[in-house]
Structure 1
Amino acid sequence: MDQIVGGARLATEVPKGFVTLDVLSVQHYTDRLFSFTTQRPAGFRFRSGEFAMIGLMIDGKPLVRAYSIASANWEEHLEFYSIKVPDGPLTSKLQNIQIGDQILIRPKPVGTLVFDALLPGKRLFLLSTGTGIAPFASVIRDPEVYEKFDQVHLLHSCRNVAELQYGIDLVQSVHSHDYLGDLADGMLYHHPSATREIYKNTGRIDDWIKDGRLAQMSGGDLTPETDRVMICGSMAMLDTLKGLCEEHGFLEGSNSKPGQFVIEKAFAG
């Protein structure tokens, strides 16, 4: 099978365990961030918040990384949100994909940022930095989230204001959706923040928790009795927020033993 990458067609065989997907759209947000959509394999099922191994054939071998699936689990396409790493083995090439190119995917999604890993609760806090918002793009487009929780708070911090645009567009699309809009009305709250530029919200998420800003904007301090937390971002961010959750008495959950918070550790390079 031929694979097309950045307009170049390369004759190659599809490795065992993978399938190829045509790229349907590509959108570049900044010189560091872009999103793209692909076909969805026949019979491909995933839970909101899961990730899949995707990539390209590089030098005759599959080079793949874990990417959260950003599309809703009911959509006919798959969406991914990626950082551009200039010297990254994969993203340095993936950032050049165009409509009609092909990517590889291992059609076995997995992950811990799923409802099954959380105990029932009233408020759900989705804490993300950078492309860590990707799994939550799927979560807030899942009607189930509005059945399970009374409030959904999406926090997204980035260095620059321009890097917040993906999340802004995402939330607007939910509120304007014919069906999801009614479900999310009065339940979905978006809190974007820039850490290196002047914006309506500034600072890191851990600072918001420590200085009381999160409690002020959400109606009360984090409490393990009623609140549930999902965290996705850099390793340093994960460690910091995991520690804060544990300080507040939250227990980490898993697919086999649900808890009060969960974290994701899938990175692309």
Structure 2
Amino acid sequence: MANWLEAKVKRLIWWNEKLFSLVVTADIEPFTAGQYTKLALQIGDERVARAYSFVNPPSSKNLEFYLIKLDDGTLSAALARLEPGDSVQIAAKSHGFFTLDEVPSAEQLWMLSTGTAIGPFLSMLQEQQVWQQFQHLVLVHCVRHSQDLSYKEMILELQEQYPQLHYVPVVTRERDATPLTKRIPQLITSGELFTHVQLEASPDMAQFMICGNPDMVKETSQCLMDLGYNRNRRRSPGQITVEQYW
């Protein structure tokens, strides 16, 4: 059973008519970048709860979550109606193993995400650990439409601070919106992703973290395994660490 706390809404940031970020404050237990917690609201006579990853680094007092407002989403629609000063319930303890502590050190770290699943990577990139653990970092954010490329300003600021960060936005349903327009598995299989970033990847120098919907995670993992990479497990370290984002 989760230990629920009251969180106060600080602000909502709307990226477009569907995507928004919810910023709250609450005295939760310490967490690790890449982990998730649960948000909940009392809707009718039921507490409706869902898991959301942190966008903010653990050092931040503000807790930020990146959400999509779903037409049939009971909780997301209710969260989208919140205003500053309102309350939302938050689990005191965070969970998850999609963290840098679980990833072997390497020369390169490839962060592959779709949609709102970029959130945990943004949390990691705002911490010092990732810059000490890897020499090259590639953040791939694949979306359908260019208006879905949220957090670009933050990412560009990180690039200025850390030149070893390669940001690769990918828009799949608008012609010529970005240099790369295919889905992530296709970009890996064809080699276009590596050519675009001008990095040669191999199992002895690259780690991949994949965060997205289950089909994307499965397909991307298989493409990498076909190239000789292995799933990363505690008993047998590999190069592929995954998080399914619903």
Return the TM-score normalized by structure 1: 0.85
Check if 1:222 corresponds to 2:201: yes
User: Which whole-Å CA distance do the structure 2 matches of 1:84 and 1:129 have between them?
Assistant: 16
Q: Which of 56, 73, 76 is 1:71 aligned to? A: 56
Count of paired positions: 244
Mark the runs of 5 or more structure 1 residues left unpaired by the alignment.
Answer: 1-14
Residue aligning to 1:139: 124
Cα distance change of structure 1 residues 263 and 248 upon mapping to structure 2, 3 Å threshold: same
Q: Which of 153, 167, 176 is 1:169 aligned to? A: 153
**For each residue in 1:205-239, what CA deviation from the matched residue of structure 2 results, as whole angstroms up to 9, or x when unmatched?**
11211222111123334321110111111111111
Q: How does 1:27-46 map to 2 (within 5 A)?
A: 27-41=13-27, 44-46=29-31
SS at match of 2:64: strand
User: Which whole-Å CA distance do the structure 1 matches of 2:80 and 2:35 have between them?
Assistant: 22
Residue aligning to 1:12: none
Higher RCO structure (Cα 8 Å, ≥6 apart): 1
User: Which whole-Å CA distance do the structure 2 matches of 1:22 and 1:139 have between them?
Assistant: 24
User: Which whole-Å CA distance do the structure 1 matches of 2:159 and 2:201 have between them?
Assistant: 25
What is the RMSD computed on CA atoms of the aligned residues? 1.8
User: Which whole-Å CA distance do the structure 1 matches of 2:239 and 2:157 have between them?
Assistant: 28
Q: Partner amino acid for 2:8?
A: D
Residue 126 of structure 1 and its aligned partner are, at CA, apart by 0.5
Residue 254 of structure 1 and its aligned partner are, at CA, apart by 4.4
User: Which whole-Å CA distance do the structure 2 matches of 1:138 and 1:200 have between them?
Assistant: 24
Residue aligning to 2:178: 200
SS at match of 2:129: helix
C-alpha contact 2:14 2:21 (8 A) present in aligned 1? yes
SS at match of 1:109: coil
User: Which whole-Å CA distance do the structure 1 matches of 2:159 and 2:139 have between them?
Assistant: 13
Residue 258 of structure 1 and its aligned partner are, at CA, apart by 4.4
Check if 1:231 corresponds to 2:210: yes
User: Which whole-Å CA distance do the structure 2 matches of 1:192 and 1:265 have between them?
Assistant: 20
Residue 156 of structure 1 and its aligned partner are, at CA, apart by 0.3
Check if 1:19 corresponds to 2:5: yes
**For each residue in 1:109-140, what CA deviation from the matched residue of structure 2 results, as whole angstroms up to 9, or x when unmatched?**
11122112111111000000000101011011
User: Which whole-Å CA distance do the structure 1 matches of 2:33 and 2:238 have between them?
Assistant: 17
**For each residue in 1:69-106, what CA deviation from the matched residue of structure 2 results, as whole angstroms up to 9, or x when unmatched?**
11011111111000110111211211111111111111
**For each residue in 1:164-221, what CA deviation from the matched residue of structure 2 results, as whole angstroms up to 9, or x when unmatched?**
1x13122024246xxxx2xx1x211100011101312322111211222111123334
User: Which whole-Å CA distance do the structure 1 matches of 2:186 and 2:241 have between them?
Assistant: 20
Mark the runs of 5 or more structure 2 residues left unpaired by the alignment.
Answer: none
Cα distance change of structure 1 residues 16 and 193 upon mapping to structure 2, 3 Å threshold: closer
Cα distance change of structure 1 residues 16 and 79 upon mapping to structure 2, 3 Å threshold: closer
Check if 1:259 corresponds to 2:238: yes
User: Which whole-Å CA distance do the structure 1 matches of 2:44 and 2:238 have between them?
Assistant: 43
Q: Partner amino acid for 1:105?
A: I
SS at match of 2:65: strand
